[in-house]
Every structure is written in C-alpha cells, then in structure tokens.
Structure 1
C-alpha cells in the first residue's frame, strides 16, 4: 500500500513521529494497562466514600454526567480533603505497569530507527520498547536533555517521573491549552515537520484537536499533502473518514492493530531504504534544474510514491510552479506509456497515481487542478467495466474500488468535471457512486 511506503520513507529519512495514546499502552501490555476511565475508577478507591463517588461519576448505565477530565477534578477535590494528591495516586497505579505479550514487531522498529514519539500517556513503555540507553524521555517539570539521542519521547501530558506536572484534571487541561509551554509548542512543531502516525488515540482531547486543526490550516495554505495517519483497530465508516480528512487532514488506516501496523511497516522499510538513498538528489535535479525522470523509471508504480515523498522531504509545495511542471511531465509520460504495446499495467498505474494524489491533496483552487483533471479524463475514458479490447479493466477496478478513499471535495470536483466532459458510462458510474 502507498500509505505504508510513505510512512516507511519518512522513517528512513528520519522524519517520522509516532503519536501514542492509551490504546497503544493497552496493546503492548496485553490489555493490562487501564483505560482512562478505568484508571479514575481505581483512584476512587483511595477516597473514604469511594464506592458512592464512583457510582455517581461512572454510573452502571454508562452515561457519565461529566467528562473524564471533569470527573478527575471532582476526585482530586475529594482526595485533597484527605491530604492526598490525584497525581501521586495515579502515578502509583501506573508505575508498576510493564510490557506483556509478543511486542517484537514494535521493539524491532523502535530499536533500529531514529524518530520522535509524542505521547499523552504517563507510562514509560515506549522508552522500554526503544532501548532506554539511546532514548531521551522529556517530561514537564524536569530538565530537558541537551545531548543527542536516537529517539526522543515527549510526554506532553507529563509522566510518572514528575507526577505534580501531569495533566489530569480539568484545571490541568485548561492551563495546558492556554499555556505556551515548551511541550505544547513542540507538539505543534512536530506536526508541521514530520509524517505523523496516531496510534491508540481517538482525538477526544480538545487541546490536541486544536493543534491538529491548526496544522490543517497550514497544510491547506501551503498546498502540501496531508501527512497525518490515524491507525484504527476497528473498521471506520467512509463518512467518518471524510470527517477526519476534512477537519483535521487525517488519513485513516483501519482494520489494523498496533502490532499489525508495525509488522507491515517493517516489511516495507527495505524498499524505502533503497529508494531514499538517491531520491532526494533526483527530485532536486528535476524540480530545481529542469531535469526529468526517464520512462523506464516511470514504468514502475512505486516510484511515483517515492517522488511525492521526496517532494515533501525537500520542503517544496506541490503548488510550486516547478513542481507542477514536473508533475505535469510525469503524468504526460505515464500517459505516453499507456500507448505502448502490451502496456495494460500502465493504465492501472496511471489510475492509481491519480487516485493517490486525490487522496492526499485538496486539488480545488490549486495550479495543479487543471493538469490533474485532464489526466483523470484520459484515464477514465480509457477504462471499461467489462473485458474489452483497447480499454483497461484493471484501471476501472482501481477507480471503482478506491473511489471512496479520495478526499470528499476531490470526489465532487472530479464528478463535476467528468459529467461536463464525458458521456462515457463506465466513467459516470464511478463518479456517481457515492
């Protein structure tokens, strides 16, 4: 899948950031790490009237009267009456939690790559998986290490190393959201500078939503593809995927556990390593020195994903006239390749390249819009639902199967263009499908 190649390419280029939440800790402890609500319920046991407090905050019908951070504030107040701290009580519960199960796909990756990890978890499990000797753990309230390290773990909500500075209650969240701490600034920076993979997290935290939303505005104004992925263990319906894409610029990889994600990523790394060695030099020559990719290079499907990743790596906007020129030449050569004898796979490649672009970049209003739509018209009018000489059945399958993965605004843009420019029934059947 092109998504895994993109993430692997970021990893071998040292531009990957993992963003971990409670679900990640549950995965690497074989579900022994508590959920956020489970943790607060356990803390209730430290209050004299804990049973009644727990029942009022977390009723058996599941309809909690307060948000979890508000519930934490109530528990904190009750603990203070007994000269106890909710932060210290939580730290006591979290510290004993350890790794369980076969985490080799995760530890293999983390022990061999250089990357950043941003986590809202208080535990130190990422550090254990990474190899603590070559990993810096950065926590609010403690000095920031200045020496280099292969992995940096940013505990933006604090960690058990400094309980007093953990973000737990609604008061804590308010201070964090409205503050300009090193950690809040760092979180915003890594979103802009790296490919980000969200693991075990559901976007429930309003502070993190605000920062990701800020990134979305940046990506639109600079016309760069979305570089945030959300890995979901369960299936995610298309309207929800569209919501994540539209509001936060997030692409969803669903039906994938944390362990399965790292297994697939590890399998993709070798191919990404081969490409990364020369790709940055090549894309600079193409973009800045008017060089061009050969047809032999463009015959290979994965090379297009390498090109797009390289553009992001050198920090150039896809809307840059030099990039538009280069992409236009690439697409034109790909169309030429479809005209060669026995070149049916080239039709499928062209379709997948166009689908991929429309899955990562909002096209409307950009200077690449016209180039893209003309190529899409060519692709869709040379495909056919049934096996028929002179038309690509596999291109039709690609457009039909992957249509729902295209950004919703791009689906509307393509639909309008195809309806205006073509009466080809198979093209219309695809763009009118949802």
Structure 2
C-alpha cells in the first residue's frame, strides 16, 4: 500500500489533506448533511407548501432524494426564493450545519482517534470544501489556525492550518454555494484560490471524504491540472475510499490526474495505518537528509528507497552537490539506486514498488538524454524488466498501474529517450495483449513531435 509514502510526506511537512463531506459524516455517524441534504432542508424551510422542493427534487424510489437540476443551479434558485422572502440562505445553511454537527452528534471514539492523529501530525495542511468547524472546534481546538474569508487569522504561527476554501459557518456570507459563487471563485485570483492550487501542486495530497464523481473534487482537480506548473518537483495524490473502485475508474483517474486509489479503507483504518508507518517514515526522512553522505560513500540502504519521493530527493541532492546528472559519478550512484529498487519489487506485496520503479525510470528519461552514455544499456535493461512486469489490463502477477505510469507520462520523457525505448520494444519479445507495449508504440507515433 501507499501508507509509507503518505507517512513520509507528513514527516517531511509536505502533506495536504483535501477533506470533503464524507469526513464530517464519518465523525458524526451520518448526522452531518450532504450537499443535497442541505439544499432539501433549505427548500423545506421556505415554508411554501413544498412548492420549490417539488420543483427541484424527487424521490429516486429508494427512499432518498435526487436533484432534478445540477445542484449549483438548485442552490441558485433557492437563493432567489429566500431573497424574495427577505431571508438569507447562507445563514439558514449555517444554522442547519451547527444543528446537525455538534458535541451531541459527534462519535466520541472517532473524535479521540482523529484528535490523537492530528495532535501528533499538526504540520498537515487541511484543505476543506466543508463549511463546518469540526477541525477547529472539536478535533484540535487548542492548536489550529483557521483560514476562511472574513475570519481573522490567529497570530500564532503554529498549529494545524485549516483552509476553508469554500467558506465557513464562522462567516456565512463567505459560503460558496451557487453557480455564480463557483464561477466567481474559479476566476477570482484571491488568496484562497492561489493557496489551494499551490498546495495541490507542491505537496502530497490525500483525498478524504469525497466520491470520485463529486462535483467539488473534479472541479478542483481540473483546475489544478490546468494551472499546473512545470519542473522536476513531483506531487502524489492518493484517494482513500471505503468501497471498491473498478479498474476502469482507477485507470481514468490515474491517467488524468495521477490519482492513486486506496480502496476498502475507512478513515479509522487510514489513521491507524499511517500512524503505524511513523517510525519507518522518520528513518526514511533522516536518510534523505543524509543523502550527501550516501552519495559520497557510494552506498544506500534498500530500506531508504521504499518511498516514492526518494528518487526526486536523490536527483536534487546530486544537483545541489554540483554533480551533473549525466556525469559518470551520477550514473555510478544511480546504478546502485536502480538495482536496489529493482530488488524491492521482488519482495512480497511489492506492487507499489513496481509503480515507483516505473516512475523513477521515467523521471530520469525526462531529465537527460541517455543515448551513447555509459548508462544507456543498463537503463534499457531496467525498462525491459519494468515492461515485463506490467499489464495493459488487470492480470494476476502483473502491475497495471505500472503500465498506467508509462502511458500517462510518455511525453514527459525526452524524445530521443522515447525513441530508444521504442527500439527496445521492437527488438525484444514482450507478451502481446498483456504488457501493452503496442499501445505505447501507437502513443509514440501520435505524440512523436511533442
């Protein structure tokens, strides 16, 4: 699993949690309202004999309500109806939330677990589209800084940073609710939009409490993708869900946004698993801080290479030491690194290592031309091994996520390095229909000039 990478990002103070409604529902055993719950409650509060309610919502036949229009449009209509009655819909929403999320509705066992996790890891950045104050009032009330429009920021420069990017009940007028609100937020260059996309691009992101089809989540991911800056720094995105996610969906989100799915994991298990990796993560971060010594000595522990982030730190350390990435000294050390990483893929339950391995090969091929270097042949041997262990579809014993890495990041690599890899594909006998190398050849033909 990917818990070690998440634990390492927390230990290195580069982790952001993107928190949705499902988190509040977990903390309150379902008492917290979903977005459609908020809007249906608002429609009932209009006291117009359910006229607006029936125009906007319908029973889907399973005892739950469905919206007849996109929810931001429903909200726009409700805002107009409240205004006609001289009422403020955002104040109504703040009242609904505080009524349904309070000390009486919060699951105490979940609260203790969350409090312990965040008090141990308050360097995490919490970015939330939720309007409630669960984090600041209950989970970590004595050690936080709230960032929300119209809400004063505490002077203390420590504690859990909580970014209410869509507003907060602390200032109901800040709540982003309607189609107009979302349009303004998306096109307004303010502190919250800039901070949101900076965190998404420069830290490891863990998505909690959203469905993959969630409007808020997909809008944020699309905007982050459109505004993404170039450069070597890599961010990883993990999506945590209680249910199972089929391969088609996983492939789409991995290819489109680089999202790694951690399925069949509720929040209690997530907190436990990440906490279990804390000591190993500390050792990993310490090893990364001592990379200069490792490079000078020409040796590195295999355990220090288990994190996805290790390779980017290695490349940065080489550059910071004034060693060019295509210098013999770099290749001598990278030869050790790739060999040890390859060995990690041979361990039991090492599927995440196969994916790291593929990304590390792509990372190097994106940085320097490898043709006619002393490392060319060895690089291609590693590529061949990665290809033989990957699959286009889900096959037992093969890593389809490795294939997704090669396919989604194909054009990240220098063109001549891609040509080298295509020559390798044509020269070696990979398994037709399994490894997916023919798909890479097709992609290469289409993207040759990119």
TM-score, structure 1 normalization:
0.79
Give the Cα separation in 2 of the matches to 1:51 and 1:9: 52
Aligned runs of 1:96-135 on 2, under 5 Å?
96=99, 97-98=101-102, 99-100=106-107, 102-103=109-110, 104-113=112-121, 114-135=123-144
Aligned runs of 1:207-218 on 2, under 5 Å?
207-214=219-226, 217-218=228-229
Show the counterpart of 2:380: 374
Q: Residue 336 and residue 56 in structure 1: after superposition, are their counterparts in 2 closer, same or farther (change >3 A)?
A: closer
Aligned runs of 1:25-104 on 2, under 5 Å?
25-49=24-48, 51-61=50-60, 64-96=67-99, 97-98=101-102, 99-100=106-107, 102-103=109-110, 104=112
Give the Cα separation in 2 of the matches to 1:111 and 1:28: 16
Aligned length: 405
TM-score, structure 2 normalization:
0.77
Give the Cα separation in 1 of the matches to 2:134 and 2:318: 33
Are 1:307 and 2:301 an aligned pair? no
Asked if 2 retains the 8 angstrom alpha-carbon contact of 1:223 and 1:361, the reply is: no
Q: Over the residues paired in the alignment, what is the CA RMSD in angstroms?
A: 3.9
Asked if 2 retains the 8 angstrom alpha-carbon contact of 1:130 and 1:151, the reply is: no
Give the Cα separation in 2 of the matches to 1:377 and 1:361: 7
Per the TM alignment, residue 43 of structure 1 is displaced from its structure 2 partner at its CA by: 1.0
Structure 2 residue runs without a partner (length 5+)? 371-375, 390-394, 412-417, 440-450
Asked if 1 retains the 8 angstrom alpha-carbon contact of 2:5 and 2:307, the reply is: no
Show the counterpart of 1:187: 196
Per the TM alignment, residue 212 of structure 1 is displaced from its structure 2 partner at its CA by: 1.8
Provide, for residues 244-281 of structure 1, a one-character-per-residue CA deviation record: whole Å limited to 9, x for no partner. 2333232222222222211111111111012223422x
Asked if 2 retains the 8 angstrom alpha-carbon contact of 1:241 and 1:252, the reply is: yes
Aligned runs of 1:261-280 on 2, under 5 Å?
261-280=270-289
Find the residue that maps to 1:197 and give its secondary structure: strand
Q: Residue 71 and residue 382 in structure 1: after superposition, are their counterparts in 2 closer, same or farther (change >3 A)?
A: closer
Per the TM alignment, residue 165 of structure 1 is displaced from its structure 2 partner at its CA by: 1.3
Show the counterpart of 1:13: 12
Asked if 2 retains the 8 angstrom alpha-carbon contact of 1:226 and 1:361, the reply is: no
Q: Residue 410 and residue 16 in structure 1: after superposition, are their counterparts in 2 closer, same or farther (change >3 A)?
A: closer
Structure 1 residue runs without a partner (length 5+)? 339-343, 384-395
Provide, for residues 282-337 of structure 1, a one-character-per-residue CA deviation record: whole Å limited to 9, x for no partner. 23456xxx62541xx344475464623645997989xx953997875455236767
Show the counterpart of 1:389: none
Find the residue that maps to 2:59 and give its secondary structure: coil
Are 1:178 and 2:184 an aligned pair? no
Asked if 2 retains the 8 angstrom alpha-carbon contact of 1:6 and 1:305, the reply is: yes
Q: Residue 311 and residue 175 in structure 1: after superposition, are their counterparts in 2 closer, same or farther (change >3 A)?
A: farther
Show the counterpart of 1:204: 215
Per the TM alignment, residue 71 of structure 1 is displaced from its structure 2 partner at its CA by: 0.4
